[in-house]
Chain A
Amino acid sequence: MQIILRENGKKRLRLRLPNALLLNGPSALLLSKRLKKEGVSLSYKQLRILFRKTRKYASTHPEWKLIEVQKKNEQGTEITIFVS
């Protein structure tokens, strides 16, 4: 997973985190426990399936950007964030 922050077209931050580190069994377990507290019923097994499919999709579609946010502040600075 990459989080890229651009300011006026220039790259300001690039955070790279391996998908295998984020979307794995232990994180699915932690997330399912957290979601249970939030009242969302999503089991460890379901999250594992979702994580596996997400990793597979990301590996076959490297150009995929999950979220793009463009925001203009008062000084006209354009900030773009990609999560891919």
Chain B
Amino acid sequence: MNETIGKRIAELRKSKGLTQEELADRLNVSGQAVSKWENDQTCPDISLLPQLSKVLGVSTDELLSGKQAQEAAVRMLPEEERQNTGDRVLRIIVNSADGDRIRVNLPLQLLKTAMDCGLEPPRISGNSALEQVNWEQVMAILAQGVIGDLVEVESSDGDVIQIRVE
């Protein structure tokens, strides 16, 4: 990504196949103003940034910093996919300090049935860090369609525990 905001605007404008005049028309500014932005003589007004980033097809963060947004560790599923827990799996990953690895893959539909039956949440090798996880809260988050890395805990003895939904 280019170093200055002006260079980024010019690059993005060209990649969209727009001329300076066309971009200026869409933002209700003059062509000279766009030229000045691109030559780093002035900066676009802050109130123009949302519209400018929309026209250029990037986020305002990306426009200002030049860094592409990283994929979020946690994201929400679209509303129509939330009810279908079919293929979603809750993974409990324990990486112990001495190199042992444990993976428990619990399908959400089974986990929900088990918890509805009154079963207690899984306990893995008596790990104390897992006891502190609020499972009711985790289930409430899952019901809202959240997927990704939900919990990451490091216990005092160096074990790392992750709870992830895929």
Known: A67-B102, A71-B100. A53 touches B109 (CB 8 A): yes
Q: Which of A47, A54, A71 contacts B110 (CB 8 A)?
A: A54
B contacts with A: majority SS? mixed
- Residues of B in contact with A, size category: 10 to 19
The residue in chain A whose Cβ has the minimal distance to the Cβ of B101 is A70
A67 touches B110 (CB 8 A): no
State whether the Cβ of B155 lies closer than 8 Å to any Cβ in chain A.
no
- Tell me the B93-118 residues at the A interface (CB within 8 Å): 98-107, 109-110, 113-114, 117-118
A contacts with B: majority SS? mixed
Q: Which of A50, A54, A61, A68 contacts B102 (CB 8 A)?
A: A68
In Å, the complex CA distance between A61 and B88 comes to: 12
- Residues of A in contact with B, size category: 20 to 34
9 A-B pairs closest in CB distance: A46-B117, A68-B103, A70-B101, A71-B100, A72-B99, A53-B113, A69-B102, A57-B107, A67-B104
8 contacts between A and B (CB under 8 A): A40-B120, A46-B117, A50-B114, A53-B113, A61-B107, A64-B107, A69-B102, A70-B102
